[in-house]
Amino acid sequence: MKYRLRYAPSPTGFLHIGNARTALMNFLFAKHYGGDFIIRVEDTDIERFVENSKESQFENLEWLKIFADESYLKPKQQYGAYVQSKKIKRYLEFAEQLISENKAYKCFCTPQELEVEREEQIKKGIISTKYSKKCLNIKNTESLNYKNKPYNIRFKVPENKIYAINDMVRGRVEFNSKEIGDFVIIKSNGIATYNFAVVIDDFDMKISHVVRGEEHISNTPKQCMLYEAFNWEEPVFCHLTLIVDESKKKLSKRSGNSIFFISQYKEKGFLPEAVFNYIALLGWSPKEEREIFSIEELILIFDDKRFSKSPSTFDMKKMQWINSQWMKKISDEQFLLFIKRFIDEKRYAFKIRSSEWTDAVLLLFKKEIDFGQQINDHLDIFFDKSDFDNETKIILTDFFDYKEMIIKLKTKFETLINFDEESIKEIIKQIGVEFNKKGKELFMPIRIWTTLSQHGPELAKTISLIGKEKILKNMKLVV
């Protein structure tokens, strides 16, 4: 069997964690088995169309390094159009076929008429829900003027029939047709509904597996009925569990401080490999006891039997940690090219400093930060920081006789000719021996009084890069 899987976004919004996970799982599934990954556009929901969302989907998928083998940008003629609005005629032809086989019919009922019929059937006990199974039954239609009246085309749902799928996540799932009313397949404006178009698209494109979110389970019985009506083989269904936020509600753009859209991760300075890595672990797990994987490794180890049956909790701290691990993995040259894009040049005048100094400063934080924009939280000590906060002053009181130690350090720095990392290390070592200090009791007071910060990267290297003039100026605040 040729594995052919698809991701089918609607241009009604931008790529977010949820649909990126769907695309990613389809991509891994297809690539692991040497198959094809297809992107097609379901653009028939005209009312909800969002400008530039189609282009944004492709742009952000490519940033994530999820590339389609086929799409409207790379079509293969034998599989038809890759955009639903280009297939309106084909959908209508299949609808007419169903009408001719008495499996569908034209429904002239207005929404108001259907609502009246629903209420009547509820009162008579014909149905127990608010939905009528059948379209309003109008007798003697020949005597009524329907010539210019708009109509939907509805699929005729078989009576009391069980439909079942063997879902790759949930196992056997059954649906009873008595719970489903005759549903619209072509709207009065001539546009195919989602459930009708998606079945025809998947048939045309020879889709072997449909991997999508669990919110689509309710669509599955209608699609099964259509596959049966056309006498087509169903694809294998796989409904991924929900991604939830920390309150166990479905992850959305309103979920606390979580960044929802993929473009936001790009803007904040996450690496695409890291975002791909983390999303791959939402609802799927590897056999190996590790969490950092390249895209190539994930393709190799992908196992379609290891989808989770429980919802996945989105953890921003975990996302940041994985990104920090990826930043450590890339070369210094790659890191510098990456991180320089996120420096706030209005705050930090790097351009007037030498490239050697700039590179050395930025590399100090390669192992310190979680994402690109965070670099701006660490650069004040090299530029405008001129005092420390009250919390830092209070911390200093924990250290005994630190003022005497700092005075001695200042004297040594003033006479130091080569203000370089090795010379500074030697002086700090001498101070430690002279005052019998080591560890935190030695390094914390020195760090605070030289950099005006409690935390930071390698101390001697940081002091040398801040420079002798500014270090001495900082130390005057106490001595």
330-344, 388-402, 406-420: range with lowest mean pLDDT: 388-402
- Please report the pLDDT score of residue 109 as a whole number: 77
3-state secondary structure 315-327: CHHHHHHHHHHHH
Q: Which residue has the higher pLDDT, 149 or 411?
A: 411
Distances (CA, A) of 160 to 44, 175, 304, 452: 31, 10, 33, 76
Task: Indicate if the pLDDT at residue 363 is higher than 90.
Answer: yes
All structural domains of the chain, each given as residue ranges with its CATH number in brackets, are 4-70+198-244 (3.40.50.620), 89-186 (3.90.800.10), 390-475 (1.10.10.350)
Task: Indicate if the pLDDT at residue 400 is higher than 70.
Answer: no
Task: Indicate if the pLDDT at residue 157 is higher than 70.
Answer: yes
Q: For residue range 427-459, what is the model confidence (pLDDT) as tens digits?
A: 999 999 999 989 988 998 899 889 988 888 999
Q: Give the residue-averaged pLDDT of 21-43.
A: 97
Cβ proximity of 41 and 72 under 8 Å: yes
DSSP bridge pairs for 327: none
Cα–Cα distance, 280 to 295 (Å, whole number): 9
Q: For residue range 220-250, what is the model confidence (pLDDT) as tens digits?
A: 999 999 999 999 999 999 999 999 998 889 9
State pTM to two decimals: 0.89
Q: For residue range 50-74, what is the model confidence (pLDDT) as tens digits?
A: 888 899 999 999 999 999 999 999 9
Task: Indicate if the pLDDT at residue 128 is higher than 50.
Answer: no
pLDDT tier for residue 117 given thresholds of 50, 70 and 90? low
Task: Indicate if the pLDDT at residue 141 is higher than 50.
Answer: no
Pairing of strands 183-186, 152-155: antiparallel
- Amino acid making up residue 420: D
DSSP bridge pairs for 167: 171
3-state secondary structure 219-272: HHHHHHHHHHHHCCCCCEEEEECCEECCCCCECCCCCCCCCCEHHHHHHHCCCH
The H or E element containing residue 7 is strand 4-7
3-state secondary structure 91-127: HHHHHHHHHHCCCEEEECCCHHHHHHHHHHHHHCCCC
Pairing of strands 312-313, 243-244: parallel
Question: Which residue, among 16, 160, 4, 138, has the nearest Cα to 69 in the 3D structure?
Answer: 4
Average pLDDT of every residue of the chain? 90
The H or E element containing residue 363 is helix 355-363
Task: Indicate if the pLDDT at residue 116 is higher than 70.
Answer: no
